Every structure is written in structure tokens, then in C-alpha cells.
């Protein structure tokens, strides 16, 4: 029995370890599809993807695959669909496991079924709420009268995972683990649990976070601390020198948002200030941040496809290698273990490479800011 998990592990902490422990009560092995260089909240990952892969492997994951950036840097529905389809084409169709604030799989599944059967009346309500300035996620929750359930980020993703399973006809069974300890993005500490955002904040401040992670911090010495502020000048320069046509093609960029971002780029000089100035009730901060990063890395709307062009392997242990060997017998897309060996024409792959090269510029250590790592770094192997 194999369980699939769609994750960011930004940074891998005790909450993730607890979830793995619970999942392994129901499955023999775990395959994680993990965001690579940029994450769904619209930020640079705290470290390179291979470091995060190693931490996941030593903490109990058997096989780590990269979630292409066209899914990772996208809204919840596209993030979920890309992750579910990556597991689906690999053949991991036993269990899809995910965390949620609810912890109630029946409630989450019922919400997914309701949203998949959205009536014309509900669709009209969504459009009406958005015309009043409400963001799409908020409008969707209100129109379906599920404000309480869909006000929490992991519940939103959980529902989208289940919808993706339904929409694509997979047999994988959805399984949820109720979040323990700190809330998503919460600033509180609960025993040995803290949110990933708080841990990242503590890391930036030079504070000790060892109690919140299931491994020795010596395992990641010098590998953490990637900061998107190191791209400030690049972000502003890209927006100031792009034509309106170029910006209009950027993923998640609508005309209204496009105009706000371009105007803000002329009035500010940093990524954070640009996003803050572009904020409005209609556009979530995460969407603004994603759109700005998408502009920088050349993520245009035409690159997105619901199903991946390939499977990219980031790391594995011995059990993961067996899963991969079996998958190669039937997987309908190429499985990449060495990027240099991939010769297909794929805008999705080219975008991943650009994302890795640009993300490297966020590294705290100047020696790590070199490009081409996708072609010089081998998958992480844990014996």
C-alpha cells in the first residue's frame, strides 16, 4: 500500500513528521510530490529543493518527486490538480494523504462533491461577490455557504485534492490527518510544534529552532536562509521593462491586477513593497506575490497543463527505488533522474530550470548562487 502526499516541506518540521507517522499506520510507503524552488504562498523556498528532499527522506518519506513550478506557483485548484495528476501518472493510486484543520474526511468529501456539482445559481453568486471586490476563494466559500470550512488554508487544499481525484477518475482514497499544534502561519508555539512560517522567521532572526524539527540542525548547516528579497532589483527591473502584452500573458495576471502591479513597480523598489502596494480586497496577497514571481521567471498562462509532461525524481531510499522501478513499466510520461538526459521539448521543464536558476540567487551564501544546478545535481539517495 502506497500513500501519496503533496507537500512543500518549507521547512520540514515536527508537524510533518507527525503526519507521516499517522499515514504510515495505513500505508507501507510514502511518495511525496514536493514544490521545488518557489512555493504556493508566492515566495522562494527556504532552501534548495535537494536539501529539503534530504530532510524529507531522513524523516520517513521513501520517494520525493518535484511538483513542477507551474503547479507549485499557482492557485489552490491548479496546485492540487497538478500534484494529484503527478501521483496518478506515476501509478500511486492507493491513498492520497493530506493535513487539514478539519480532520473530518466525510465533511471535506461532501464539500468537494457540492463544489463539483456547482449550479448556475452558485456560479452567478460567485461572480456577483467578486464584482463587489471579493477575492475568488472568499467568493467561492460564501457562495457555497461553507465560509467556516473554507476559511482555513489546509481545508481549502484538502477539498481541492478530493475534487481533483473525482475530476480525473482516480481510485486513490483520500485520507486526512488533523493538524496538531500550531495553526498554519500561526505565531504561537504549542509544545514542540510551531508553524513553518514561524520557524522560518526564527531562522532569519538567528534563533534556535532545533526543538521544532525531527533532525539535527547540523544536517542543514548553511543550507537554509534563502530570501526572496535578494531578487528585489531583478523583480522591479523585469516589470519596468516588460511590455503590457508580455505582462498580460503572465499566469494569474488579470487586467486589473496587471495595471496595479505595473504602477506599483514604478513607485517602489522592493518585492515586499511592490506586493503590499498592489494589495486589494479582490486580490489575495498570495496571488499578487505569485503573479510577480511568475513575471520574473517567465511563467505564462500557456505553459500550464493539468497533466505533467514528465516525472522529476529528486531523491529516494531503497524502498523508493523499488517503487520507481515498478512505475517505469507503465508510466506514460518520461521519468527524469538526470535532467541532462531529458531531450523532449517541454515549456514546463524549461520553466522549472529557469525557476531553479533564479531561486539560486536567493541563497545566503554567494557561492551557492551559481546556475545550472538542475544539470549538475544528482537525486539524493538515502541508504
Is residue 66 domain-resident?
Answer: yes
Q: What is the pLDDT of residues 134-163, one digit of tens each?
A: 666 777 777 766 666 777 788 889 999 999
- Cα separation, 42 vs 181, whole angstroms: 24
Q: Which domain holds residue 27?
A: 2-224+306-344+373-381
- Cα separation, 301 vs 294, whole angstroms: 10
What integer is the mean pLDDT of 63-79? 97
Is residue 122 domain-resident?
Answer: yes
Q: What is the pLDDT of residues 265-283, one digit of tens each?
A: 999 999 999 999 998 888 8
- Cα separation, 132 vs 142, whole angstroms: 13
Whose CA is closest to 157, among 40, 279, 70, 301? Answer: 40
Element (H, E) at 267: helix 255-267
Is residue 194 domain-resident?
Answer: yes
Q: What is the pLDDT of residues 169-188, one digit of tens each?
A: 999 999 999 876 555 555 67
- Cα separation, 299 vs 140, whole angstroms: 25
Question: Strand locations in 90-138, DSSP E?
Answer: 95-100
- Cα separation, 271 vs 268, whole angstroms: 8
Counted domains in the chain? 1
Is residue 60 domain-resident?
Answer: yes
Is residue 80 domain-resident?
Answer: yes
pTM: 0.92
Is residue 255 domain-resident?
Answer: no
Write down the residue that cell numbers 503572465 correspond to.
250
All residues at 6 or more sequence positions from 135 whose CB lies less than 8 Å from its CB, including other chains: 281, 282, 283, 284, 287
Amino acid at each position: 500500500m502506497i500513500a501519496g502526499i503533496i507537500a512543500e516541506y518549507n521547512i520540514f518540521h515536527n508537524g510533518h513528521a507527525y503526519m507521516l507517522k499517522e499515514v504510515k499506520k495505513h500505508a507501507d510507503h510514502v511518495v511525496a510530490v514536493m514544490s521545488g524552488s518557489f512555493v504556493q504562498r508566492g515566495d522562494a523556498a527556504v532552501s534548495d529543493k535537494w536539501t529539503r528532499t534530504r530532510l524529507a527522506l531522513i524523516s520517513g518519506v521513501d520517494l520525493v518527486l518535484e511538483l513542477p513550478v507551474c503547479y507549485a506557483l499557482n492557485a489552490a485548484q491548479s496546485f492540487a490538480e497538478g500534484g494529484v495528476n503527478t501521483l496518478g501518472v506515476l501509478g500511486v493510486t492507493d491513498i492520497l494523504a493530506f493535513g487539514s484543520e478539519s480532520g473530518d474526511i466525510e465533511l471535506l468529501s461532501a464539500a468537494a462533491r457540492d463544489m463539483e456539482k456547482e449550479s448556475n445559481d452558485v456560479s452567478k453568486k460567485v461572480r456577483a461577490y467578486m464584482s463587489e471586490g471579493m477575492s475568488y476563494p472568499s467568493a467561492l466559500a460564501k457562495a457555497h455557504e461553507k465560509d467556516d470550512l473554507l476559511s482555513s488554508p489546509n481545508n481549502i487544499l484538502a477539498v481541492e485534492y478530493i475534487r481533483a481525484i473525482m475530476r480525473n477518475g482516480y481510485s486513490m482514497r483520500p485520507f486526512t490527518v488533523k493538524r496538531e499544534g500550531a495553526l498554519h502561519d500561526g505565531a504561537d508555539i504549542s509544545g514542540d510544534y510551531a508553524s513553518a512560517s514561524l520557524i522560518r522567521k526564527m531562522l532569519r532572526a538567528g534563533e534556535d529552532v532545533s526543538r521544532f524539527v525531527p533532525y539535527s540542525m547540523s544536517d542543514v548547516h548553511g543550507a537554509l536562509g534563502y530570501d526572496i528579497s535578494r531578487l528585489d532589483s531583478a523583480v522591479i527591473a523585469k516589470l519596468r521593462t516588460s511590455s503590457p502584452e508580455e505582462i498580460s500573458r503572465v499566469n494569474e495576471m488579470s487586467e486589473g491586477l496587471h495595471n496595479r502591479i505595473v504602477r506599483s513597480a514604478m513607485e517602489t523598489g522592493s518585492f515586499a513593497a511592490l506586493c503590499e502596494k498592489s494589495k486589494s480586497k479582490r486580490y489575495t496577497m498570495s496571488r499578487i506575490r505569485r503573479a510577480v514571481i511568475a513575471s520574473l521567471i517567465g511563467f505564462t498562462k500557456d505553459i500550464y497543463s493539468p497533466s505533467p509532461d514528465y516525472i522529476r525524481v529528486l531523491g529516494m531510499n531503497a524502498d523508493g527505488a523499488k517503487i520507481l522501478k515498478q512505475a517505469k513499466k507503465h508510466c506514460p510520461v518520461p521519468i527524469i533522474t538526470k535532467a541532462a538526459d531529458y531531450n523532449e521539448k517541454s515549456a514546463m521543464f524549461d520553466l522549472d530550470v529557469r525557476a531553479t536558476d533564479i531561486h539560486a540567487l536567493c541563497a545566503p551564501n554567494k557561492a551557492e548562487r551559481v546556475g545550472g544546478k538542475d544539470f549538475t545535481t544528482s537525486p539524493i539517495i538515502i541508504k
